[in-house]
Amino acid sequence: MEGGYREFDCGICGKHVWISKSLYRGHKYCSDDCSHTARRESLRRARRRHQKTEEGRRGNARRQREYRRRHKVKPDTEVESPGVRNGSVFPRSTTVGHDRRP
């Protein structure tokens, strides 16, 4: 069995794996699930490294400006706070489900 197989430990779960030399292509992971997990982690680390560069910070600032511009609250769609009417502030009841009576 030693001559026709390669063995390795999965880089994610640590499972010991045997694979035939004819199928071996530098595998590091035992399954597609482990491979996809490793890829997601690799991309996450790359995004973090990029965010630490000047180019990454400028790109993030640009995206945030565009987001805020797209989601800007327009005056005709502003939602009024429940305790404010016509610029006057009314006290809210501190009791829930009960009327306040003098």
Task: Provide the mean pLDDT of the chain.
Answer: 82
Q: What is the pLDDT of residues 30-75, one digit of tens each?
A: 999 999 999 999 999 999 999 999 999 999 999 999 999 999 876 6
Count CA atoms closer than 13 A to 101's CA, side-chain side. Answer: 3
CA separation for the pair 5, 1 (Å, rounded): 6
Instruction: Please tell me the predicted confidence (pLDDT) of residue 97.
Output: 55
Which band of pLDDT confidence, cut at 50, 70 and 90, is reported for residue 99?
Answer: low
CA separation for the pair 21, 23 (Å, rounded): 5
Output the pTM of the full model. Answer: 0.55
Instruction: Please tell me the predicted confidence (pLDDT) of residue 1.
Output: 44
With 90 as the cut, is the pLDDT of residue 14 above it? yes
Give the largest Cα separation in the chain, rounded: 93
Domain coordinates in residue numbering, the chain: 5-73
